[in-house]
Amino acid sequence: MKKTGLVYHQDYLKHNTGQNHPENAQRLLALLDCLKKDFSWNHLKLIKPCNPSIKWIEKIHTKDYISSIEKACKDGLWMLDADTIISPDSYKVAVLAVGGVLSALDEVATKKVKNAFCAIRPPGHHADTEKAMGFCIFNNIAIGARYAQKRHKLKKVLIVDWDAHHGNGIQNIFYDDPTVFYFSVHQFPHYPGTGEDKEEGNGEGEGFTMNMPMCAGSGDLEYIEVFENILYPSAKKFCPDLILISAGFDGHKDDPLSNLNLTSNGFRRLTEVVVKLAEECCEGRVVSVLEGGYNLKALSESVVSHLSAFVEGYEKKE
Ligand SMILES: [Zn+2]
């Protein structure tokens, strides 16, 4: 039976945002501890992130923007926007986060693993072509989508973004593009302010962006309904060659950065819908990439639940 890939590297801890910042290194440590304790590790294959060629990052971000991040880190700047803190190593770590997604894609595309989860940071879905925001520097998922298309000829990519916040960066990047179907379900109104249902794409991309704004207080039932009744049929029609998940777990009921009501088991149910779609459309190819999730316990338990739906015939560790 093929394993599920897990991308991790200890250098991801070197993006130092300070202990009081919600997006800090403890998140990955907590999540790994919980996986070691509560998950059957033998279902997983550890994938080492590559150090990617910058040309892949340039498929999404401008050269000027990329070098401005490198320079900001070298010069010892500590803020890219009001929320996005950096440290001297952040540029290298952000590049390695992209490398994690590309390595996961290589393993999934060549069938070395069945699917994969990238435990990476900094997150990416708010980052735009020339702008860092909302804790995000490079748009890991968007770069991954282009890489899959160019390197592995996986032409049609579905991005499912269930982070509590709308992934404005991903939406902007692919707004005119019919080859990438962006589906986002998020609290609305909420940061960053975009993601209304009337935002549906533009030109050839019209209909290939789908936003599901959810009221504060929405939880497992409302989300599962959206996944089964809206995502599932729309995605079947699109018939992707690859599915990427912008996996933010900040919609959990205990998360400090949203007012949603999802449970860790709810994330398992959402994953099951995505896995079913992947099996029916694209030989099971799914790469999931960590975005938000700021309550350490809620994040860790949600990731365990998420991964349990990735593993065929998974049985809970006793
Ligand atoms: Zn978020």
Q: How far is the CA of 220 from the centre of ligand 1 (A)?
A: 17
pLDDT given at position 99:
98
CA dist., res. 126 & res. 169, Å (int)? 4
Percentage of residues in the chain having pLDDT higher than 70: 99
Measured distance CA(193)–CA(284) in Å, rounded? 33
Q: How high is the pLDDT of residue 173?
A: 98
Q: Which amino acid is at 282?
A: C
**pTM above the 0.85 mark?**
yes
Concatenated DSSP letters of 137-181: SS-HHHHHHHHHHHHH----EEEEE-SSS--HHHHHHTTT-TTEE
Region 296-313 average pLDDT: 95
Q: Which residue has the tokens 């009744």?
A: 229
Residue 116, SS3 per DSSP: strand
User: What's the rounded Cα separation, in Å, for the pair 116 and 7?
Assistant: 7
Segment 292-314 mean pLDDT: 95
Can you tell me the mean pLDDT for 89-99? 98
Domain boundaries, the chain: 4-308
Question: What integer best gives the mean pLDDT of the chain?
Answer: 97
Average pLDDT over residues 81-91: 96
Distance CA 294, CA 230 (A): 28
pLDDT of residue 39: 86
Centre of ligand 1 to C-alpha 2, Å, is 31
Which of the residues 9, 126, 165, 252 is marked catalytic?
126
CA of 132 to the centre of ligand 1 (A): 14
Q: How far is the CA of 209 from the centre of ligand 1 (A)?
A: 18
In this predicted structure, the answer to whether residue 35 has a pLDDT above a threshold of 70 is yes
User: Taking ligand 1, which is a single-atom ion, which protein residues have CB atoms under 5 Å away?
Assistant: 163-165, 248, 250, 292
Give the pLDDT mean for 163-170.
Answer: 98
In 3-state terms, what secondary structure has residue 141?
helix
DSSP of 55-78, one letter per residue?
HHHTTTS-HHHHHHHHHHHHTT--
Q: Work out the percent of the chain whose per-residue pLDDT is above 90.
A: 95
Our answer to whether residue 126 is catalytic in this structure is: yes
pLDDT tens digits for 233-261?
Answer: 999 999 999 999 999 999 999 999 999 99
Residues 268, 200: Cα–Cα separation, whole Å: 27
Local structure of residue 87 (DSSP, 8 states): -
* 4-308: CATH superfamily: Histone deacetylase domain (3.40.800.20)
Distance 187 CA to ligand 1 centre (A): 10
Q: Kindly tell me if the per-residue pLDDT of 37 is higher than 70.
A: yes
Per-residue pLDDT at 318: 58
pLDDT category of residue 41 using cuts at 50, 70 and 90? confident
What pLDDT is stored for residue 40 in this prediction? Answer: 82
CA of 134 relative to ligand 1 center, distance in Å = 8
Instruction: Give the mean model confidence (pLDDT) for residues 29-49.
Output: 94
- The model's confidence at residue 47, banded by pLDDT at 50, 70 and 90, is very high
Question: What distance in angstroms lies between residue 304's CA and the mean position of ligand 1's atoms?
Answer: 18
**What is the C-alpha to C-alpha distance for residues 46 and 28, in angstroms, rounded to an integer?**
14
How high is the pLDDT of residue 315? 73
Rounded average pLDDT over 32-43: 91
Q: Which two tokens stand for residue 171?
A: 């939406």
Instruction: Give the model's pLDDT for residue 312.
Output: 79
User: Structure tokens of 308?
Assistant: 């349990």
pLDDT at 181 over 70: yes
What's the rounded Cα separation, in Å, for the pair 284 and 170? 23
Q: Per-residue pLDDT tens for 57-75? A: 999 999 999 999 999 999 9
